[in-house]
A and B are shown apart, each in its own frame.
Chain A
């Protein structure tokens, strides 16, 4: 229905233009478009451009109001010709007298109301009110009421249907002058308002509205120039300069129509990008894959996607730190930044894109952000586990040092004191007492041996001081089964890595075994791979898994034929 209506409007507008041009050509001397074929073409081009763009806008969602204003402006543009003395009909002539100056405020209205057809700002509304009042009321209706064409020397003019009484040439002149002052005022005022609004608006809105506002301001500037030019004459006429200015207005209106169309073309490109985004996202990109999808769809290989985490870090979906460079657009939802996009400058100049991309990718964005949070928590947990193990090792080493420095040292001193006491007593001492002292010394020796074994089991000094290789070689001297050591690292590794590797070996080789155990510890790039192969793999490796897992490593027991089992640990180690 609406479509048919707007089609009718389009046809009516086309006919209206042809009719207006015919009127103009009838009285070429008093017209703008009738003066030459070129002027006629310019008249139709500007009017029809506004008409078609207006009708098209009416059929788009959210732009019907703007379309209506543009269609009205196109009709108004043609009405300029209707106050021609050669109009022939009193009705046409009178309408021309009232509405010949209504195009400028309508165009200004369209410019200020772009893109949704509403002027939400009171200075703008005030300026427009002045414009309509000056053009329709002062220059149009009131002037028409006092305008007697015959008295003004226009013998062939049709009758002015609005003329009340005999008319007043003085009042007519005053009204015209007032209308022109008013016109000059509001047109300059609206240029300033529109330019100021453009400067103050967001970059995205500025990029969207700039072409339309610039074309509109040029048009209003030409209109203001014509008001200024007509002031000394006392009425709006059509001398040579007027006609040249009018051609400028026509060009500006064509440009304004093109600017509206350009915005639609950009929106269409955006929509196709968004459509591709929807299709790509339907394929469920892997974790961290959203960046690639966005970079591809938006044609920006430099695009980066990052998530601000609760702890203030900025990371990708895998919780790796991201350094954002270039223009950064935050994606905000519910007042909270959910993601940050860095991209080439101007990528989000199209506001639809800036709004629609986050909306379209919402689920994928949430998914990746939650993943980043989860990774971050996992890493915190891992770091915490590593700290617990490190702390435990530090405690073990402290304990061992205390045993060596404290208990062991005292026992040695005690045995020395006993020995001294015994030599003091001399060769003539009671044999029973000598026997007691010998027993005490033997006890002390056993206690020292026990203490040494205890300390060794808690944390071998040789592991701390000389490293993994020396410690594993030392294990071979006390293990119940023979060990065949095939490879050990030449270099020292971090103490937690060495401790983890050592305990994997020591837990295995301390168990009774019938045959030789093969041991190797080899560094492959950033991983230390420890393997113990034989018939003594422990059934329970939870403790080892805790220790190695705290370093983000893995332990597993692989059982082969003939009871041979291999315990294999992979431990990440920094170089």
Chain B
């Protein structure tokens, strides 16, 4: 898989390059700014771009802006944003702006090479990837008694995996369940939560994340 890395920190960029190369990825370009990133994408035609969320000049959300621009100019290039911020707001913003093939991971995931490689593959396949820490924080948050409380333990696991952006097939693999069983869980979950089920994985992630973020009161 062809990968471009954009990060203004040279040490980290090079380290990531070596790590991914050793894992068998083909690092075809490196960039320190959003401008360089666009040039590299135009030249190297990567499958996925790994982008630090903050880059010069303002060091805030240049990565998200770049992701949106990449979606407009090269919709076939997947985007994996690495972020210091544990904010579901930014993750939502990314997958709203870059539907299909976008991921939001905490930056320290770079050392967990398994997670990183898995995320790259999924983004390349067009899935969404949301950092599990963000999902578990959303599930853990204090909320009034709601439909979430009616879910079984297994259904909560399935819901978390859906929120992380996994497809039914991915959920089957993670939980060692059959496709029919997972489909059943998914249907149950959506019925209990009162959320319309969507066949489109990308829409499904957005619906689940929105539900978890907004924490609606239980219907009387």
Residues of A within 8 A of B15 (CB): 413, 416-417, 420
**Within the assembled complex, what's the spacing in Å between the Cα atoms of A247 and B48?**
116
B62 CB → nearest A CB, Å:
11
Chain B 51-86 residues near chain A, CB threshold 8 A? 54, 59-61, 84-86
**Within the assembled complex, what's the spacing in Å between the Cα atoms of A571 and B154?**
47
Chain B proximity mask over A387-430: 1 for CB below 8 Å, otherwise 0 = 00000000000000100110011011101111110010000000
A466 within 8 A of B: yes
Q: Are A516 and B144 in contact (CB under 8 A)?
A: yes
Known contacts A409-B12, A481-B142: A416-B111 contact under CB 8 Å:
yes
Q: Are B9 and A409 in contact (CB under 8 A)?
A: yes
Among B84, B108, B137, B142, which residue has its beta carbon within 8 angstroms of that of A482?
A: B142
Q: Are A478 and B137 in contact (CB under 8 A)?
A: yes
B207 within 8 A of A: no
Q: Are A465 and B144 in contact (CB under 8 A)?
A: no
**Within the assembled complex, what's the spacing in Å between the Cα atoms of A482 and B146?**
11
B177 CB → nearest A CB, Å:
29
The stretch from B16-24, B30-38, B118-126, B182-190 touching chain A is B16-24
Residues of A within 8 A of B113 (CB): 419, 423
B180 within 8 A of A: no
Q: Are A477 and B85 in contact (CB under 8 A)?
A: no
Chain B proximity mask over A300-332: 1 for CB below 8 Å, otherwise 0 = 000000000000000000000000000000000
Main secondary structure of the interface of A (DSSP, over half): helix
B107 CB → nearest A CB, Å:
5
B147 within 8 A of A: no
**Within the assembled complex, what's the spacing in Å between the Cα atoms of A379 and B9?**
46
B162 CB → nearest A CB, Å:
18
A448 within 8 A of B: yes
Known contacts A404-B84, A462-B89: A444-B59 contact under CB 8 Å:
no
Residues of B within 8 A of A479 (CB): 141-142
Q: Are A474 and B108 in contact (CB under 8 A)?
A: no
B88 within 8 A of A: yes
**Within the assembled complex, what's the spacing in Å between the Cα atoms of A437 and B6?**
27
Q: Are A415 and B111 in contact (CB under 8 A)?
A: yes
B158 within 8 A of A: no
Known contacts A448-B108, A480-B142: A423-B19 contact under CB 8 Å:
yes
Residues of A within 8 A of B107 (CB): 408, 412
B16 CB → nearest A CB, Å:
7
**Within the assembled complex, what's the spacing in Å between the Cα atoms of A465 and B11?**
27
Residues of A within 8 A of B87 (CB): 461-462, 474
Interface size on A, residues (CB 8 A): 39
A507 within 8 A of B: no
B215 within 8 A of A: yes
Residues of A within 8 A of B88 (CB): 474, 477
Known contacts A416-B16, A419-B113, A423-B19: A482-B59 contact under CB 8 Å:
no
| B212 nearest in chain A by CB position | A477
B50 within 8 A of A: no
**Within the assembled complex, what's the spacing in Å between the Cα atoms of A408 and B86?**
13
B138 within 8 A of A: yes
Chain B 174-220 residues near chain A, CB threshold 8 A? 213, 215, 217
B35 CB → nearest A CB, Å:
19
Q: Are A462 and B85 in contact (CB under 8 A)?
A: yes
Residues of B within 8 A of A380 (CB): none
B110 within 8 A of A: yes
**Within the assembled complex, what's the spacing in Å between the Cα atoms of A418 and B22?**
14
Q: Are B89 and A466 in contact (CB under 8 A)?
A: yes
Residues of A within 8 A of B142 (CB): 479-483
B50 CB → nearest A CB, Å:
13
B147 CB → nearest A CB, Å:
14
B143 within 8 A of A: yes
Residues of B within 8 A of A461 (CB): 60, 85, 87
Q: Are A441 and B111 in contact (CB under 8 A)?
A: yes
Known contacts A416-B19, A473-B213: A405-B59 contact under CB 8 Å:
yes
**Within the assembled complex, what's the spacing in Å between the Cα atoms of A418 and B12?**
12
Chain A 475-506 residues near chain B, CB threshold 8 A? 476-484
A229 within 8 A of B: no
Chain B proximity mask over A152-179: 1 for CB below 8 Å, otherwise 0 = 0000000000000000000000000000
B17 CB → nearest A CB, Å:
10
Residues of B within 8 A of A374 (CB): none
Q: A416-B19, A423-B19, A482-B142 are in contact. List 11 more A-B contacts (CB 8 A).
A: A405-B59, A412-B111, A416-B16, A416-B111, A444-B108, A445-B108, A448-B108, A456-B86, A465-B61, A477-B88, A477-B213
Q: Which 10 A-B pairs have the closest CB atoms?
A: A415-B111, A416-B15, A419-B111, A482-B142, A413-B12, A477-B141, A482-B143, A482-B144, A470-B89, A448-B108
